[in-house]
Structure 1
């Protein structure tokens, strides 16, 4: 319309200034003379005439097509007439073989809108702009993403909570969409935001919260009892959107937030050692986003959140345990069954019932209030997660079971059993036999319970350097490394002694042949100790039996 207004203005100007005729104006501006007369009559171009359907072929079938389109008013959304179906029915029921698809499509597109408009029901959804009060509402959703973990590229889920007023959002990544992840995400979000929305939080109909959708005029739901307990603890109400894609617009803020955050902070695919490391990065990214400004708003997200934060409901003083509490029994393999996966516990608890807190990313096993085992949660069905440390006391008496132990295979794969352990084990078996060498290795593995892994590995390498195969030597060298790491001063060394300092195993020295050279020591030629010299300290000796009889004979 703007270009036609400019055309009319130029035509009127040329006519006014130069006095050109209609024919000359039409030739100069390359338009029809009718257009020139319209421009000279009015500066405003006339409205375009609405094109009316003039096809004669479709006129006999117009009533039939209108009837089909009106029947769609009460039909289910996925069972309405398409143009292909209308044409097929016209051919089958009315022998309309001369009609083309394009002719029917043009007529249907025009008449469908008119028929729906006659009933007052627009075909397209109409969205009503909403104004949110500060601190009142939030929205929650999960989004999919992939993460490169040490085990490979893994599908994970991004939990997002977004405040409706300020747009401030909190994101956390979890391996599943389980109820444990759902609750942990809420706790992390409430803690980061410093409070709880006062009115409501909007959700999809997640199984973690809703067990059944009751269809009707109102939004009735049957909620999960543990979810109801969580809502009651934190004091907020839940608003559940319409099922399916029809209800996505009811929490459109968080629907778009998940994609925006993923594109800006999770591209390329993040490569991390664990999801805990990734969540620390996401927390920093959330705070960095406080400086961004949402389209259509004057102030930044952080400035608006500063207003909203003061109006949130304070957090409860008591903490809520998000993990599911279970009470399995330890089987004869020192394992507990949790959600179709088996996790190891110390062997001394075989046959006893223990408490298990199943969380989003970890499994914590307790005996009373004492934590006896902690594992990373497995998502695979039928998986075994075994810790070699839980079987060391048993392996001490059954050393032959260690080479083929599943726990050893997993320890190697996870990096807990290093090449230094393997080298020490091979040297110990060569020196002490299979059973003896394995027991020495187990003594070394027991050092990990109270010493850092790096210190024990350093002790292993130091022992292997001089050919020592005793756990005592590894322990001494590991403590040296521990003291060095702690910054403690080392023992003074006698610089006048030019002999080579070597690592000495006291156990080997005590049990070995006194004349043998062990660990670099010279042969011991000293005589064996004796207590004969101490007999001189006795004040007197008791007379023997012969001397007593002789004394008695003299008296007689």
Structure 2
């Protein structure tokens, strides 16, 4: 029974039996008469008096510990006292051994936040946010956000670059395979082009590795040299936020924008053939979002941006190479190693150094000023990407290496080695053997360097229909298909003429009114030569009536024996 219930029963019995004495009530409930009197005076029991707190054995060292903790308030972040260090100093420097380690730990855990709060109160500094007003055309914010994309059937972790104008809220988004310096600068270039200008004051950043090499005290930073050159070329300043979570509110607009765009437009996981296709879709989404109205605003983003666009600084006409330039050496496997990933180059460059431009989403390989290879950038260590065309000269001498080559597997996966190539290879091997049949296929693959892929496939199909596996016949038919396509393709269509300012409705009239020069031209002689036709089926040579030569005279040579003369 609680004390409140005891008081309630004593008061109830007294109401029901007014003649009961205090002694009788005390004997009934087994309590002291003083308790009965307290219950009759008040239904609420008095609170028990708490004993005075016991004096801590650590109390003599309170001042010493507080002095160490106050010194930590202005010490470097990585050179502050740990609790173990405080306990060690109490013993070695002050000879205090009365308290144990646990007592010191409990006091430090309670006292440290109290001293921080006291310091803030002394400085009249409170945590919070102050609303800001941004002038049009002056400021922007940049950040990366992680995003997953299914590219050609493979799920890849990519990075969403976002640049957001602080005044209008107009944002530009692009997806890159990495958030390295190449993607960082290329994202800026794409954003400046899309916006048509550059903020005149500064752009806010957190301490991204592509821009900042070392964080110093305050807002001073040691910047990357390439990043300094980039800022100098486009003419804008960088504003770096406080490190950690405390600085996130300084660019809260882009922090929220990256997550909002990902939830709104990249859910579920987008499926695209390439990141170029995805970025084209994102660019269209950015334009459509001009109709969106931000929270607390009365007009749309596009309305505010129309006013802000006029105040942005112009974009320089000169191009800036955002890629990193490398000069790797081509190995015996016709590959180069770039950032721990391997890419194939044409076999004729084995043993030579080539120039590589490493960009955000692709790798360009140059021989002087000519692009000799182009690959999608790989992001995982040890990955490789081979193109079958780069190994054709080697495979002419080693045709047996084609079947198990990684280049062939890659071509099949990417769809460049089609079913028509497979059929031609099978027919050529059946007709000429593995070695010669594979060489015939390689000669056909070499045609892709000079003719469109559709024309070569048409040539392969025509040759197979005629029952032939001759590379020469494939070349002839491929050239015919390419020439036919070129004749059927108009030099300028109606859309091109409209872009040039030509009224397409008056062209038929002009054509009808123009005299035909063939009306007054001399007649063209009729050719009596037979037309050239394509080989469509296998034809046998016509039979001949000429008798075969006799070999009877040669039988005399077989009848000659040793010691005889002719």
Mapped to 2, the partners of 1:349 and 1:58 lie a distance apart of: 91
Aligned pairs for 1:17-416 within 5 A:
57=50, 60=53, 93=103, 119=122, 121=124, 125-215=127-217, 218-416=218-416
CA distance in 1, matches of 2:321, 2:117: 58
Please give the secondary structure, in 1, of the residue aligned with 2:317: coil
In 2, the alpha carbon distance for the partners of 1:433 and 1:364 equals 38
How far apart in 2 are the matches of 1:274 and 1:55? 76
Partner of 2:541: 523
Q: Deviations over 1:332-374 (max 9, x none)?
A: 2222221112211111112222111110111111111111111
SS in structure 1 of the partner of residue 53 of structure 2? helix
In 2, Cα distance between the equivalents of 1:389 and 1:244? 49
Shift of the 527–129 alpha-carbon distance from structure 1 to 2, 3 Å rule, reads farther
Please give the alpha-carbon distance, in whole angstroms, between the structure 1 residues aligned to 2:381 and 2:403: 26
Q: 1:58, 1:222 → 2: CA distance?
A: 60
Output the CA distance in 1 between the equivalents of 2:146 and 2:260: 13
Matched residues in 1 for 2:282 and 2:351: separation? 42
> How much is the aligned-residue C-alpha RMSD, in angstroms?
3.6
**Aligned-pair CA distance for 1:450:** 2.4
| 1:451–1:58 distance in 2 versus 1, CA, 3 Å | farther
* Local SS of the residue matching 1:145: strand
Task: Evaluate the alpha carbon distance shift between residue 317 and residue 72 of structure 1 in structure 2; reply closer, same or farther with a 3 A threshold.
Answer: same
SS of alignment partner, residue 171 of structure 1: strand
Describe the shift of the 1:502–1:58 C-alpha distance in structure 2 as closer, same or farther (beyond 3 A): farther
SS at 1:328 equivalent? coil
Distance 1:434 1:245, change over 3 A: same
SS state of the match for residue 411, structure 2?
helix
**SS of the residue aligned with 1:321?**
coil
SS of the residue aligned with 1:147? strand
Deviations along 1:437-492, one digit per CA (max 9) or x if unpaired, are 11110111112112232332333233333432122333334344445545639xxx
What's the counterpart of residue 425 of structure 2? 425
How many residues end up aligned between the 2 structures? 431
* Secondary structure of the corresponding residue to residue 233 of structure 1: helix
Contact 1:73 1:116 in 2 (8 A): no
Q: 1:374 to 1:93 in 2, by over 3 A?
A: closer
Q: 1:93 to 1:364 in 2, by over 3 A?
A: closer
Listed as ranges, the matches of 1:474-489 within 5 Å are 474-483=474-483, 485-486=485-486, 488=488
Q: Give the CA deviation at 1:169.
A: 0.5
Q: Distance in 2 between matches of 1:352 and 1:451?
A: 28
Contact 2:466 2:535 in 1 (8 A): no
> Cα gap change, 1:476/1:312 in structure 2, threshold over 3 Å: closer, same or farther?
same
Distance 1:300 1:502, change over 3 A: same
- Tell me the TM-score normalized by structure 1: 0.70
CA contact (8 A) 1:473 1:503 kept: no
Paired residues of 2:70 and 2:115 also in contact (CA < 8 A): no
CA distance in 1, matches of 2:446, 2:431: 20
Instruction: Note closer, same or farther for the CA distance 1:70–1:251 as it changes in structure 2 (3 Å cut).
Output: farther
Unpaired segments ≥5 residues, structure 1: 1-53, 82-88, 97-106, 490-500, 506-518, 529-556
Deviation at 1:291, TM superposition (A): 0.7
Post-superposition CA distance 1:92-135 (Å, at most 9, x none): 659x9xxxxxxxxxx99xx999967853556x622111111111
Q: Distance in 2 between matches of 1:58 and 1:312?
A: 72
C-alpha separation in 2, matches of 1:62 and 1:287:
71
Give the aligned partner of residue 451 of structure 2. 451
| Pairs within 5 Å for 1:460-479 | 460-479=460-479
Cα drift, residue 80 of structure 1? 12
Structure-2 separation of matches of 1:184 and 1:357 = 13
Displacement, 1:260? 1.1
Unaligned runs of 5+ residues in structure 2 are 1-46, 83-98, 490-531, 547-566
Contact preservation (8 Å) 1:136, 1:197: yes
**CA-CA distance at 1:308 after TM superposition:** 1.0
TM-score for both structures, normalised by structure 2: 0.69
Per the TM alignment, residue 72 of structure 1 is displaced from its structure 2 partner at its CA by 7.7
List per-residue Cα deviations over 1:191-217 (Å, max 9, x = no partner): 1111111111111111101111112xx
For the 8 Å contact 1:463–1:473, the answer to whether it is kept is yes
Aligned partners of 1:234 and 1:316 also within 8 Å: yes
Q: Which is further off, 331-340 or 69-78?
A: 69-78
Greater shift after overlay, 173-182 or 388-397? 388-397
